[in-house]
Amino acid sequence: MPDPLDFQSIMMALQDFWAAQGCLIWQPYYTQVGAGTMNPATFLRVLGPEPWNVAYVEPSIRPDDGRYGENPNRMQMHYQFQVILKPDPGNPQELYLKSLQALGIDPRQHDLRFVEDNWEAPALGAWGLGWEVWLDGQEITQFTYFQQAGGFVLDPVSVEITYGLDRIAIALQRVHGFQEIRWNTPGSDSTGLSGLTAGEVNLQAEQEHSRYYFEVGDIERLKNMYQLFEAEANNALEHGLVLPAYDYLLKCSHTFNVLDTRGAIGVTERQAFFARMRELSRRVAGAYLEQRQRLEYPWLDENRGAGEQANSGANEKTQSLSGQLTDPADLLFEIGTEELPAGDLDGALAQLEQRLPALLSELRLEHGPLRVMGTPRRLVVSVDDLAPRQPDLEQLVKGPPASRAFDSLGQPTPAAEGFARSKGVALADLQLQEVDGGRYAVALMRTAGRPAGEVLAEAIPGLIASLRFDKSMRWNSSNAAFSRPIRWLLALLGDRVIPFEYAGLVSGNTSRGLRFSRWEEFSVNNPQEYSSCLAEQGFLLDVSHRRQRIAEQVGRLAVEVGGAVPEDQGLLAEVANLVEVPAGLLGSFDPQHLDLPGEVLSSVMKKHQRYFPVERDGKLLPYFIAISNHGDGNLIDERELVREGNEHVIRARFADAAFFIEEDLKKPLQAYLPDLGTLVFQGQLGSMLDKTHRIYHLVEDLSGMLGLTLEQSRVAVRAAELAKADLVTKMVVEMTSLQGVMGRVYALHFGEPEEVGTAIFEHYLPRFTGDVPPRTLPGLAVGLADRLDTLSGLFAAGLAPSGARDPFGQRRAALGLVSNLIAWDLNFDVRQALGMAADRLPIAASEESRRACLAFVGERLRHLLLERGYRYDVVEAVLAEQADNPAAAQRAVQELAAWVQRSDWNRILPAYARCVRITRDFQERFAVDPAVFEEPSEKELYAALQTAGAAGRQAGLVDDFLNAFLPLIPAINRFFDQVLVMVEVEAVRKNRLGLLQRVAALADGVADLSKLEGF
Of residues 174-203, which lie at the interface with its own copies (CB under 8 A)? 183-184, 186-187, 190-196, 200-201
Nearer to its own copies, 51 or 956 (CB): 51
Which residue among 12, 855, 943, 955 contacts its own copies (CB under 8 A)? Answer: 12
Using DSSP, state whether 130 is helix, strand or coil. Answer: strand
Q: 871 and 1014 in contact (C-beta within 8 Å)?
A: no
93 belongs to the binding site for its own copies (CB under 8 A): no
Nearer to its own copies, 193 or 710 (CB): 193
Binding residues for its own copies, total number by CB under 8 A: 79
CB of 55 to its own copies, least distance (A): 9
CB of 20 to its own copies, least distance (A): 7
Contacting its own copies within 305-364 (CB under 8 A): 305-307, 309
**CA-CA-CA-CA torsion for 779, 785, 790, 796, nearest 10 degrees?**
170
- How far apart are the C-alpha atoms of 910 and 900, rounded to whole Å? 12
Nearer to its own copies, 143 or 942 (CB): 143
CB of 228 to its own copies, least distance (A): 5
Nearer to its own copies, 192 or 618 (CB): 192
683 belongs to the binding site for its own copies (CB under 8 A): no
Window of 303-311, 340-348, 439-447, 619-627 that interacts with its own copies by CB under 8 A: 303-311
Q: Judging by beta carbons within 10 Å of its beta carbon (0-12, 13-18, 19+), is residue 428 exposed, middle or buried?
A: exposed
CB of 281 to its own copies, least distance (A): 17
CB of 58 to its own copies, least distance (A): 9
218 belongs to the binding site for its own copies (CB under 8 A): yes
Q: 541 and 380 in contact (C-beta within 8 Å)?
A: yes
Binding characters for its own copies, 412-451, by CB under 8 A (x = yes): ----------------------------------------
Q: What is the sign, positive or negative, of the torsion defined by CA atoms of 289, 291, 294, 296?
A: negative
Nearer to its own copies, 69 or 527 (CB): 69
CB of 758 to its own copies, least distance (A): 41
Nearer to its own copies, 222 or 957 (CB): 222
- How far apart are the C-alpha atoms of 520 and 509, rounded to whole Å? 14
Nearer to its own copies, 205 or 427 (CB): 205
Q: Which one-letter amino acid corresponds to residue 133?
A: V
What lies within 8 Å, CB to CB, of 302 at 6+ separation is none
CB of 377 to its own copies, least distance (A): 23
242 belongs to the binding site for its own copies (CB under 8 A): yes
Q: Which one-letter amino acid corresponds to residue 650?
A: I
Window of 50-58, 107-115, 414-422, 944-952 that interacts with its own copies by CB under 8 A: 50-58
Which residue among 216, 219, 426, 980 contacts its own copies (CB under 8 A)? Answer: 216
> Would strands 52-61 and 24-25 be described as parallel, antiparallel, or unpaired?
parallel
Nearer to its own copies, 180 or 529 (CB): 180
304 belongs to the binding site for its own copies (CB under 8 A): yes
Contacting its own copies within 592-621 (CB under 8 A): none
150 belongs to the binding site for its own copies (CB under 8 A): no
Which residue among 38, 42, 48, 50 contacts its own copies (CB under 8 A)? Answer: 50
CB of 502 to its own copies, least distance (A): 22
225 belongs to the binding site for its own copies (CB under 8 A): yes
- How far apart are the C-alpha atoms of 222 and 960, rounded to whole Å? 71
Nearer to its own copies, 51 or 451 (CB): 51
Nearer to its own copies, 89 or 508 (CB): 89
Nearer to its own copies, 5 or 524 (CB): 5
- How far apart are the C-alpha atoms of 683 and 794, rounded to whole Å? 10
- How far apart are the C-alpha atoms of 516 and 630, rounded to whole Å? 11
211 belongs to the binding site for its own copies (CB under 8 A): yes
CB of 289 to its own copies, least distance (A): 13
Q: 768 and 706 in contact (C-beta within 8 Å)?
A: no
709 belongs to the binding site for its own copies (CB under 8 A): no
Spacing of C-alpha 168 from chain mean position: 30
What lies within 8 Å, CB to CB, of 620 at 6+ separation is 594, 598, 601, 602, 613, 614
Cα distances from 937 to residues 55, 145, 929, 945, in angstroms, run 98, 83, 15, 12
224 belongs to the binding site for its own copies (CB under 8 A): yes
Total length of the chain? 1015
Using DSSP, state whether 473 is helix, strand or coil. Answer: strand
Binding characters for its own copies, 18-37, by CB under 8 A (x = yes): -xxxxxxx-xxxxxxx----
CB of 671 to its own copies, least distance (A): 23
What lies within 8 Å, CB to CB, of 884 at 6+ separation is 829, 830, 831, 854, 858
CB of 200 to its own copies, least distance (A): 7
Binding characters for its own copies, 61-90, by CB under 8 A (x = yes): x---------------x-x-----xxx-x-
Q: 506 and 336 in contact (C-beta within 8 Å)?
A: no
At residue 527, what are phi and psi to the nearest 5 degrees?
Answer: -55, -40
What lies within 8 Å, CB to CB, of 491 at 6+ separation is 332, 333, 334, 456, 457, 460, 497, 498, 499, 500, 507, 508
Nearer to its own copies, 12 or 465 (CB): 12
Window of 167-175, 224-232, 459-467, 475-483 that interacts with its own copies by CB under 8 A: 224-232
205 belongs to the binding site for its own copies (CB under 8 A): yes
Window of 106-114, 298-306, 329-337, 594-602 that interacts with its own copies by CB under 8 A: 298-306
518 belongs to the binding site for its own copies (CB under 8 A): no
Using DSSP, state whether 476 is helix, strand or coil. Answer: coil
Nearer to its own copies, 169 or 964 (CB): 169
Nearer to its own copies, 227 or 906 (CB): 227
- How far apart are the C-alpha atoms of 156 and 475, rounded to whole Å? 7
DSSP string, 320-354: -------S-EEEEEEEEESPPPHHHHHHHHHHHHH
How many Cβ atoms from other residues are within 10 Å of residue 536's Cβ?
10
Q: 819 and 774 in contact (C-beta within 8 Å)?
A: no
CB of 96 to its own copies, least distance (A): 14
Contacting its own copies within 252-291 (CB under 8 A): 291
Nearest to 1008 by CA among 875, 918, 865: 875
Contacting its own copies within 947-1006 (CB under 8 A): none
CB of 727 to its own copies, least distance (A): 30
- Angular region, 29: left φ>0, alpha ψ -120 to 50, beta rest: beta
- How far apart are the C-alpha atoms of 51 and 38, rounded to whole Å? 18
Q: CB-side exposure of 368: number of CA atoms within 13 Å?
A: 10
Q: Going edge to edge, which strands form the sheet with 486-493?
A: 370-375, 378-386, 329-337, 486-493, 496-497
Nearer to its own copies, 310 or 435 (CB): 310
- How far apart are the C-alpha atoms of 450 and 227, rounded to whole Å? 70
Q: 381 and 319 in contact (C-beta within 8 Å)?
A: no
- How far apart are the C-alpha atoms of 412 and 430, rounded to whole Å? 9
Nearer to its own copies, 246 or 624 (CB): 246
Which residue among 98, 221, 851, 925 contacts its own copies (CB under 8 A)? Answer: 221
CB of 95 to its own copies, least distance (A): 9
CB of 260 to its own copies, least distance (A): 17
Window of 54-62, 570-578, 910-918, 957-965 that interacts with its own copies by CB under 8 A: 54-62
